[in-house]
Structure 1
Amino acid sequence: MRAVVIRGAGGPEVLSVQDVPDPVPAEGDVLIDVVAAGLNRADVQQRRGLYPPPAGASDIPGLEVSGRVADAGRSRFRVGDAVVALLSGGGYAEQVAVPAGQVVGAPDGVGLVEAAGLPETAATVWSNLVLQAGLAAGDDVLIHGASGGIGVMAIQVSLALSAVPHVTAGSAAKLDVARSLGVRTLINYRDEDFVARAKAATDGRGADVILDVVGAEYLARNIESLATGGRLVVIGLQGGTTAELNLGVLMGKRASVAGTTLRGRPSAEKAAILAAVEDRVWPLVASGAVRPFVDRTFPLAQAVEAHTYFDAGAHTGKILLTMD
């Protein structure tokens, strides 16, 4: 089969499409003929040598795919079923073998190519906003990186749960994406103080939940932005890994900070998260309340161009690789 291989740490030019051995399903795996794969920041970090795959995972990048079942094994699926899957690696390829619990039926209401942009974002958002932070109706939620795949999904899920999203992004065009989804508090972090804006938008209370992809650079300001009893969930480290934390402020607010990743979780945890996504998020997709935002698609042979486009930082929503 054809797959994208990383020849060494570096820029997009280290990617190449090569013929590699077909995957051999293990006991309990489902073999999928891939239709499309989502491009995520984790893939870029792996390419740069900063985020190696977990032990035992494929060196081929790609954490989410859509496709059709080629070998169902002993799973609940049948050959030919349209599915999506959450991976530890291996998605940039024509086939992938995945533990059955990390595979769910493709949701109604979207095409199979578009569906490739859903499993990683939906699992990340649901596990962090709902399962970790307990987001509920009426909560104010501050979402950083509003125009990326995670941000767009977080906005839609928040609105579907009757929470109130407030967002940050680095340009008017990116904030327009959030505006089109119904967000009212739109903060350009390049020239506005998101702490002041978040507090003003919540009558001085602050945010009940913050979903953060920046990390160290935002830690102190995120704590300042939290309401009493607020929950900060850090899921990215674009702004560094190390910062000082004023525990007095945190304790005074009776607030909490959690840091999570999805890729390295045990398969059983991923399966439980995907079961919740299938039960709670897929009906929202079918109804149109949640939908994938796809910026551009590239054929697998243009993986270098796809990563170059991602690195430029102007995209909104998901970038997909197709196996056409």
Structure 2
Amino acid sequence: MRAITTREPGGPDVLSWEEVRDPEPGPGDVLVEVAATAVNRADLLQRQGHYPPPKGTSDVLGLECSGTVAAVGEDVRDWRVGDEVCALLAGGGYAERVVVPAAQVLPVPEGVDLVTAASLPEVACTVWSNVVMLAGLEAGGTFLVHGGAGGIGTHAIQVGKALGARVAVTAGSAERLRRCAELGADVLVNYREQDFVEVVGAADVVLDNMGAAYLGRNVDVLAPDGHLVVIGMQGGVKGELNIGKLLAKRGSVSGTGLRFRPVEGRNGKGRIVAEVREHVWPMIADGRVKPVVDRVLPIERAADGHRALEEGDVFGKVVLEV
């Protein structure tokens, strides 16, 4: 098969569409003929040599895909050859075929085409696992989303509104904030001009992609019993945490990720995928949550997709069609 390979760590130009060995499904696996994949910031980090894949998984980029089931391994009962699916991956999505544990496979949501479905697994699993399963966002609560114009942000806004929360977002321009408002955001903060603590007031759940740069102010903005969930490090990896403020608010700070979780178990990817199918897929089917795709590129132009994400020229997701 062909896949996007990385000759060496570096910029987007190191990506190349080359022939590689076909993957083979083992017991409990599904082989997917890939229709599309999507670009995530983790892909950029891996390309740069900063985010190696888990041991025993593909070193091909790509944390999600959509496509058609081409084969199933032993003990797989829920999927059959020919099923149209999308899947959460530990790697391997930038390719013509990929093997994925059956527990991480999802049906294509009702009303979504096969290519667009590639934009959903990573954002849906990230948002649901962190915002609901971990932080417990409830109707009437205030939910602050940093990076509201990104793939995770645009999905998080819609899920927060579907759950009945007041949603606040940060973004870097009036135009990007306007589009966030169209998705349902109630409170809009231009981080280049405004302090989100002053504008938002207090947030029950904060979903943060910045890490160190926002740590202190994220604690400041927490409501009593609030929960800060850090899922990215775009603003650095080391920050100072005021334990006194956190204790006074009975606050919680969690740092989480999806890629290195086991498939099985209470916090495993299989359980997250099952909850997404049960709770988020109906939101998509009835239109409360819609995929937000900025552009679809042929996979041979993966480098252009990486450049666009690095330059901040994306609202929602970049999809790569195979």
The SS at the match of 2:95 is: coil
Q: Displaced runs of 4+ in structure 1, greater than 6 A?
A: none
Determine the C-alpha separation between the residues in 1 that align with 2:100 and 2:285: 25
Listed as ranges, the gaps of 5+ residues in structure 2 are none
Q: Which residue of 1 aligns with 2:27?
A: 27
Determine the C-alpha separation between the residues in 1 that align with 2:132 and 2:285: 20
C-alpha displacement of 1:57? 1.3
C-alpha displacement of 1:119? 0.4
C-alpha displacement of 1:32? 0.4
Are 2:235 and 1:245 aligned? no
Determine the C-alpha separation between the residues in 2 that align with 1:47 and 1:173: 30
Residues 146 and 170, structure 2, Cα contact 8 Å, conserved in 1: yes
Q: How does 1:8-87 map to 2 (within 5 A)?
A: 8-73=8-73, 74-87=76-89
Determine the C-alpha separation between the residues in 1 that align with 2:26 and 2:236: 38
Determine the C-alpha separation between the residues in 1 that align with 2:228 and 2:49: 28
AA of the residue aligned to 1:310: L
Determine the C-alpha separation between the residues in 2 that align with 1:19 and 1:245: 48
AA of the residue aligned to 1:251: L
The SS at the match of 1:69 is: strand
Q: CA RMSD in A?
A: 0.8
C-alpha displacement of 1:169? 0.5
Q: How does 1:214-233 map to 2 (within 5 A)?
A: 214-233=210-229
C-alpha displacement of 1:9? 1.2
Residues 212 and 233, structure 2, Cα contact 8 Å, conserved in 1: yes
AA of the residue aligned to 1:26: G
Identity %: 54
Q: Which residue of 2 aligns with 1:202?
A: none
The SS at the match of 2:253 is: strand
Count of residues paired in the alignment:
317
Residues 30 and 75, structure 1, Cα contact 8 Å, conserved in 2: no
Say which is worse superposed, 125-134 or 98-107, in terms of deviation: 98-107
Listed as ranges, the gaps of 5+ residues in structure 1 are 200-205
Match of 1:172 among 171, 174, 178: 174
Q: Which residue of 2 aligns with 1:211?
A: 207
User: If the length of structure 2 is used for normalisation, what is the TM-score?
Assistant: 0.97
C-alpha displacement of 1:26? 1.2
Q: Which residue of 2 aligns with 1:236?
A: 232
Determine the C-alpha separation between the residues in 2 that align with 1:119 and 1:306: 18
Determine the C-alpha separation between the residues in 1 that align with 2:167 and 2:186: 8
Determine the C-alpha separation between the residues in 2 that align with 1:197 and 1:146: 15
C-alpha displacement of 1:109? 1.2
Residues 25 and 72, structure 2, Cα contact 8 Å, conserved in 1: no
AA of the residue aligned to 2:142: D
C-alpha displacement of 1:182? 2.3
